Amino acid sequence: MIRTADLLKRPTVSLPETATIREVALELAKSRVGLAVLTAKDNPRRPVAVVSERDVLRAVADRRDLDGPAMAIANKPITVLDTDPVWVAAEKMRQHNIRHVVVVNKDGELVGVLSIRDLCFERAILLELAAAEAPTTP
Ligand code: AMP
């Protein structure tokens, strides 16, 4: 069985929850990833929110102050466990219409971020997803 933690290859973009929208945008651009995790001020391993490139795009379109807090455009993280099979990540992306899930350990600490691209480009994963008996909603 392939687990979510097995697919984590790229370094995670994480910033403290006090970061500005501009700081998040700069990190996303520099790292060429689509989701940043905002972490607790007193604990960089505890994810408190996420900001995706779409949130930044919307902030620009809405003429928000980019030096304002990223928390204002962030969402509460949808997570999977590092021990979950990959289909759980795929199912959460489908259910919530998102392209990223935050991977945490049993203590809720940040382990990484999986993107939908990580699920699409390896034959072994596609085969596993096809075979998985994930509960589906109509
Ligand atoms: P994305 O699917 O990453 O392009 O993001 C689309 C929207 O879903 C944005 O508003 C994101 O903040 C939100 N989003 C993406 N991934 C997550 C996640 N793991 N938890 C919570 N919200 C998310």
Q: Is 85 in the pocket of ligand 1 (CB under 6 A)?
A: no
Rounded to two decimals, the pTM is 0.91
Q: Taking a C-beta distance cutoff of 8 angstroms, is the pair 114, 38 a contact?
A: no
- Residue 91 burial (C-beta neighbours within 10 Å; 0-12, 13-18, 19+): buried
Any atom of ligand 1 within 6 Å of the Cβ of 50? yes
Residue 125, number of CB atoms within 10 A of its CB: 19
Give me ligand 1 centre to Cα 99, in Å.
Answer: 6
Query: Which atom of ligand 1 is least distant from the CA of 76?
Result: 21
State pLDDT tens for residues 16-30.
999 999 999 999 999
Q: Is the minimum distance from the CB of 47 to ligand 1 under 6 angstroms?
A: no
Q: Read off the pLDDT of residues 54-99 as tens digits, 9 standing for 90 and up.
A: 999 999 999 999 999 999 999 999 999 999 999 999 999 999 999 9
